Amino acid sequence: MNEKENKATEIVRGVCSLDCPDQCGLLLHKEAGRIVKVEGDPAHPMTQGAICNKVRHMAERLYDPARLRYPMKRTGKKGDGAFERISWEEAIETIASKWKTLIATEGAESILPYSFYGNMGRIGAEGMDRRFFHRMGASRLEQTICEAAGTEGYRYTMGGSYGTSPEDTVHAKLIVMWGINAVSTNLHQIVLAEKARKNGARIVAIDVHRNRTAKWADWFIPIRPGTDAALALGLMHILFEEGMTDETFLQAYTVGHEKLRQHVKSYDPEFVSSVTGVPVEDIYELARLYGRTTPSFIRIGNGIQHHDNGGMCVRTIACLPALTGQWMHRGGGAIKGNGSYLDFNKAALQRPQLRKQPARSVNMNQLGNALLELDPPICSLYVYNSNPAVVAPHAGKVRQGLMREDLFMVVHDLFLTETARYADLVLPATSSFENHDIYRSYWHHYVQIQQPAIEPYGESKSNPDVFRLLAQGMGFEEEALRDSDEDMIRQALNNPVNPNLESITYERLLEEQYVRANVRPLFPGKLPTPSGKIELYSRAMELKGLPPLPTYTPLQTDEEEALRFQFIPAPNHNFLNSTFSHNAKHVRLEGDEPKLYMHTEDAESLGIRSGERVRVWNSRGSCELTAIVGDDVVRGTVVSQGLWADAEGNSRLVNALTPDRLADMGGGAVFFSGRVQVEKLESAS
C-alpha cells in the first residue's frame, strides 16, 4: 500500500454522547483506524453541522496519553493515585469474589452502584447495568443530581417532559432564556433564536449573572437567586389584572385558573420587586411584553432548579404559557426538557423484575452521608459514567467517605479521575465511538445510533461488556444478562405505549443514522396529567403536602445564615461538568484558573480587587479562586464557573462548599442554594 492510500480518510457518522441537550450529529474522520477529526454532520436536521468547541477537540481526548489502557489495582494509599496493571481475568475474579463474600455476610444491599450520564448512550447508561444490579439485589441509586427537582415540578404542571418542538422556536417573537446559559449549554437553541431574532423576535435573559447568554440577549434582567417563582407570580398578577390572559385557552385546557387568579393578587409588583430585586417598572414592562407577544417561548434552564425551592420554581414558570394560550401557537410555549416524547421501553431495557426483593435507595446527592452514616453500611461502591469526588455536593464529606479503608471500591472510566484515585480497582472504559448504542435527546425529537467507529482503545471495555463479564463471574445465569447490544437496542425501541417511536426501528437507524420521532403539537389534545389538562392547581401536589398553587418560598436559611454571600458554582463554557477539566487546551480556554465573579460594592467592602486571590469558605469547606470584580452579578451573590480538576497545593473544588440537603421536589440537588464568606488571600511575599 502506498503512502497516499494509507492516509486515506474515511468518514463515518456518529453522535455526541455528552450530557448536553443538543445531541449533535457528527462526522468522524478516520485515518489508519484512528479518529483524526470530529466535525458536525451538516445533514443532521437539528444540529446542521455546527458543534461546540469542546467536541471539535474530541480526538485529543480519545488519544490522550493519560487515557486508561488496562485494568489496574491500587498499590498506594487511597487518593494517592498509585496503581499497577492487572489482567481483566484478575479484575473480574477479584470483584466477583469480594461481592460474593459481601452478599453472603452483609447482604447485597451493602453494594451500591453510582452512575450518571457521562455517556448518554441508553444501553450503556441504563441497560445491562440495571439488569445486573437488580439481579444482584444491590442498593438502588436515586439519580437526582441534575434535573430531578425541575423535572418533577414541570410534571405537576404539564404531565411530563413535554414542551415546544425546538425547530418551531424560530417562529417565536419573544424568547425568554430563564436561568439557562444556553450560549454555553444549548448552542443550537441559540442558533434558532438568532433566526427568530432576524425575524423580529426580542430576546430576554433572566439570570443572577450576566453570563454569555445574558450578554447576547437584548434585555438582561438580573434577579436575586432563588426568587424566580416570585417574579413569575408577579407577571401572572399583571397578566390577570390587565386582561392579557387567553380566557378561551384557560377554560378549555387548564384546571384551577380561577383559584390562580385570586391567589396571585397577593403577588403585587411592589412586593415582588422587594423579593427579587427587579425594579417595579421592569416587572410591568416584562409582563406587558409577555402578555402582548405571540408566539412567546420560554427556555427554562437547570440553574433555577438547583435550589431549595427549585421544583416549585419550575412548576410556576411552566404555568406562564398557559395564561396567554401560547401552546396554541407554533413556536409558543416552553421547554424545560423534551425527553418524555422519546421514552424508550424502560422495563424491557432495565428488567426491574430481576430484583427479587425490595432494596433501600440512596440519593446520589448525599453520597457522603451514605458512605459515612448508613446502617447497615455500604461496603462496596461501583462507579461508572460519573466523577462524584468532583461533581457531588458536600465534596469534603464525599471524599471522607471514599477514604474508608473498609470500602471496596471499583471505578470504570476512561481516565484516572479524582474519584478513581480512591478506588481499589480501576477498569478502562471505551469511548462512545467504540460502542454500539442508541441515543435520544432531551431537547430535540431525534433518536440516533452509534455503531463502533474504531476499535476499543487498549484493553478498554464498554459498560455493557463489563456487566456481562461481571454477571458471568458472579454466576448469574439469566438470559437477560447475556443479551447483546443489538438485542437491548431492539428491546428499548419497541415501546408500544409510546406511539411517537412507532416508525423507529433498529434497521432504520442503521440506514438513516437519525430518525425523528412522530411528535405532534400538544394542543388541541390531552396531557398525561391526572386531569388531562395543564394543572395550574394540582391536587396531586396537595396530597403530597405541597402547596397546590404556584407559590414562592424563600431559600432555606441554615446555620450559615450569617454568611454574607449566596454562592452559585455554575458550569462553564469549555468543560462538560468535570469532563475536559484535565485537558490543557480546555483549561487554557477557560483562562487557566477558576474565577469568582463579585459585585464591585461587595468586593470594595472587603478590600478585594480584580485579579486578587480570594478564599471562599463556609462550615463545609473552602476553596481558592481569583476575583473578577464588576457589575456582572447581583449584590450579595458570588458566582464561579466550572468543575475544575484537582490542583496541587490549593483547592479549586467548588463542591467543597455546596450543601447536600435536598430540593423541595424529586430529591434534587441544591448546588446554588449555599451561602459562603469571601476573604482576600494575603500574598505569600
Q: Pick the stretch among 139-147, 262-270, 476-484, 564-572 that binds Mo ion (CB under 5 A).
A: 139-147
C-alpha closest to that of 596 among 561, 564, 633, 560: 633
d(CA 388, CA 417): 9
- How many residues touch ligand SF4 under the rule CB under 6 A: the total is 12
Candidate residues 74, 131, 135, 307; the one interacting with ligand MGD per rule CB under 6 A:
307
Q: Which stretch binds ligand SF4 (CB under 6 A): 46-54, 383-391, 501-509, 543-551?
A: 46-54
User: Closest residue (Cβ) to ligand MGD?
Assistant: 303
Tell the smallest beta-carbon distance from residue 407 to ligand MGD (Å).
19
From the CB of 595, what's the least distance to ligand MGD, in Å?
13
Footprint (CB under 6 A) of ligand SF4, residues 19-38: 20, 22-24
Q: Is there binding between residue 146 and ligand SF4 (CB under 6 A)?
A: no
DSSP character string of 125-174: HHTHHHHHHHHHTPPEEE--SSSHHHHHHHHHHHSSS----GGGGGG-SE
Q: Which stretch binds ligand MGD (CB under 6 A): 79-87, 89-97, 224-232, 512-520?
A: 224-232
CB of 20 to ligand SF4, least distance (A): 3
With 0-12 CB in 10 A as exposed, 13-18 as middle and 19+ as buried, what is 531?
Answer: middle
- Do 122 and 349 contact (CB within 8 A), yes or no? yes
* CB burial readout 386-422, b (16+ within 10 A) else e: bbbbbbbbbbbbbbebbebeebbbbbbbbbbbbbbbb
Task: Report the partner that residue 187 touches, choosing among Mo ion, ligand MGD, ligand SF4, none (CB closer than 5 to 8 A by kind).
Answer: ligand SF4
* Closest of 173, 189, 440, 447 to residue 300, by C-alpha: 189
User: CA torsion angle for 178, 179, 181, 186 (degrees, to 10)?
Assistant: -60
Looking at beta carbons only, is 146 or 492 nearer to Mo ion? 146
Q: Which of 27, 28, 46, 52 binds ligand SF4 (CB under 6 A)?
A: 52
Ranges assigned E (strand) in 429-530: 437-440, 446-450, 514-516
Q: Which range, of 75-83, 113-121, 196-204, 252-260, touches ligand MGD by CB under 6 A?
A: 113-121
Instruction: Considering the complex, state which of residue 191 and residue 403 has its C-beta at the smaller distance from ligand SF4.
Output: 191
- Select from Mo ion, ligand MGD, ligand SF4, none the partner in contact with residue 228, using the beta carbon and a kind-dependent cut-off of 5 to 8 Å: ligand MGD
- Could you say whether residue 193 binds ligand SF4 (CB under 6 A)? no
CB of 304 or CB of 493, closer to ligand MGD: 304
> Terminus-to-terminus CA distance in the chain, angstroms?
63
146 binds Mo ion (CB under 5 A): yes
Binding mask 493-522 for ligand SF4 (x = CB under 6 A): ------------------------------
Question: 3-state class of 45 per DSSP?
Answer: coil
Site string for ligand SF4, 55-94 (x = CB under 6 A): x---------------------------------------
- Our finding on whether 424 is near ligand MGD (CB under 6 A) is no
What are the helix and strand counts (H, E) for the chain?
26, 27
Query: What's the rounded Cα separation, in Å, for the pair 375 and 419?
Result: 23
Total residues belonging to the chain: 685
Residue numbers of the site for Mo ion (CB under 5 A)? 146
